[in-house]
Structure 1
Amino acid sequence: MKLYRFLTAQDDASFCHKVTLALNKGWELHGSPAYTWNQETRLLMCGQAVVKDVEGKEYTPDTKLSEH
């Protein structure tokens, strides 16, 4: 099965660590990062799509993406 996740966080080291952890678990970057300004919190937010192929498993809506 192919899995998709969109990781988000404030534009700081926590976002880089979140993406780095996903890469080290076998996820691959998909597309370019996205940025948006949160007017309410006055913080820059980041997002990055990642994908991963998992052999021998079937996708269901109950699949825990963060466990793969």
Structure 2
Amino acid sequence: MIYRLLTADDTSAFCQKVSEALAKGWELYGDPAYAYDAQNNVMRCAQAVVKEDHAPYSPEMKLGQQ
């Protein structure tokens, strides 16, 4: 199983990022998280996703292309 943490500002772009991952076979893992980024004066979102993958893990693996 491989794991990714998707993050972005709290905009529709974040929802699109998560939706794209789900369309590529990733599954939600846990609840989303929200936090205020005081330096940039925005809310930030995070959502963990996982995917079954039978290939050996490699740090060079580009998870977003899986």
> What TM bracket, shorter-length normalisation?
over 0.9
Match of 1:48 in 2: 47
State yes or no: 1:59 paired with 2:48: no
TM-score, length of structure 2 as denominator length: 0.95
Structure 1 stretches of at least 4 aligned residues deviating more than 3 Å after TM superposition: none
Aligned-pair Cα RMSD in Å: 0.7
- Percent of residue pairs bearing the same amino acid type: 47
Written as runs of structure 1 = structure 2, the 5 A alignment for 1:1-68 is 2-55=1-54, 57-68=55-66
TM-score by structure 1 length? 0.93
Q: Report the AA paired with residue 59 of structure 2.
A: P
What is the one-letter code of the residue matched to 2:16?
Answer: H
Deviations 1:2-34 (A, max 9, x none): 110000000010000000000000000000000
Q: Deviations over 1:38-67 (max 9, x none)?
A: 111110000000000023x11111111111
Number of residues paired by the alignment?
66
Task: Give 5+ residue unaligned stretches, structure 2.
Answer: none
